[in-house]
Structure 1
Amino acid sequence: MRYTLLLHYPEADEQSIGREAIEAGMAAFASYAEALDAAGVLRSAEVLQPSSASTTVSTRDGELRIQDGPFADTKDQLGGTFVIDVPDLDAALDWAGRAPSATWGAVEVRPSAVRFVDGSWRPA
């Protein structure tokens, strides 16, 4: 079953936490991705740009609304995702607990419902 691990954590940059912490985090995530890949469960991974680069789109009363920045007013950001294919929720939870950001943020585990492959929607 496919699960997406959504990595939520406080947004930080080199100026606020230091270059050494950034490099350590990058190394930890590289190791985590390599472990997922070696286990044969990694399907994709994305590191997102800072929330300040985002644009949020919504429609209210038939009118398109475009807002610069993230929609949620929160100290945490969605920093990245890993899509994994594992036998069950317990396995997904185990991998989520190993994510480096689980120690300084939260990892939301969400099962996939459908996915778009080769021009069509399919059950995940």
Structure 2
Amino acid sequence: MKHYLLSVVTPADGVPPAPEELGHIMRRVEGFHRELQEAGAWVFDGGLSAPDTATVVRAKDGDTMLTDGPYIEGKEYLGGLSIIKAPDLDAALVWGRKAALAIGLPIEVRPFEGEVEG
């Protein structure tokens, strides 16, 4: 069994959904997470705060330097993630499609290196 990262690709200049629409989205996401758990594919999931809340830690000359904000400015950012277990990429892509339908944003599906137990 492999682990896969399902990344929620969020537009940096996107307009947040209205509260009513957000409620519908969150119910679909909760259903998606429940389905993952019932199938034994769920490992972890979570949403992330906006990029401007980030702090970047860089190593330099045996010390570290802290910088406010995201490492890279971009048109999109990682808005949330799920880590799942799936037997292969095709199965992970099925979960990626379900995530995209639930959330309404693009989902990047990427395998972790190596195999995992269970």
TM-score normalised by structure 1 residue count: 0.75
C-alpha distance in structure 2 between counterparts of 1:12 and 1:104, whole Å: 16
SS at match of 1:26: helix
> Following superposition, which runs of at least 4 residues in structure 1 exceed 6 angstroms of deviation?
none
C-alpha distance in structure 2 between counterparts of 1:33 and 1:78, whole Å: 18
User: Which structure 2 residue ranges, 5 or more long, are not aligned?
Assistant: none
State, as a whole percentage, how many aligned pairs show the same letter.
Answer: 30
Aligned length: 115
C-alpha distance in structure 2 between counterparts of 1:89 and 1:47, whole Å: 23
User: Which structure 1 residue ranges, 5 or more long, are not aligned?
Assistant: 115-122
SS at match of 2:93: helix
Q: Deviations over 1:62-102 (max 9, x none)?
A: 56332212122123221111111111011001111111468
Aligned residues of 1:9 and 1:101 also touching (Cα < 8 A)? no
Q: Deviations over 1:40-68 (max 9, x none)?
A: 11111111122222112223565633221
Aligned residues of 1:55 and 1:67 also touching (Cα < 8 A)? yes
- The verdict on how the C-alpha distance between 1:12 and 1:22 changes in structure 2, with shifts beyond 3 A counting, is farther
User: Greater relative contact order: 1 or 2 (C-alpha under 8 angstroms, separation 6 or more)?
Assistant: 2
Q: 1:8 corresponds to which residue?
A: 9
Aligned residues of 2:4 and 2:110 also touching (Cα < 8 A)? yes
TM-score normalised by structure 2 residue count: 0.78
Amino acid at match of 1:79: G
C-alpha distance in structure 1 between counterparts of 2:41 and 2:28, whole Å: 18
- The verdict on how the C-alpha distance between 1:102 and 1:19 changes in structure 2, with shifts beyond 3 A counting, is closer
Q: 1:78 corresponds to which residue?
A: 78
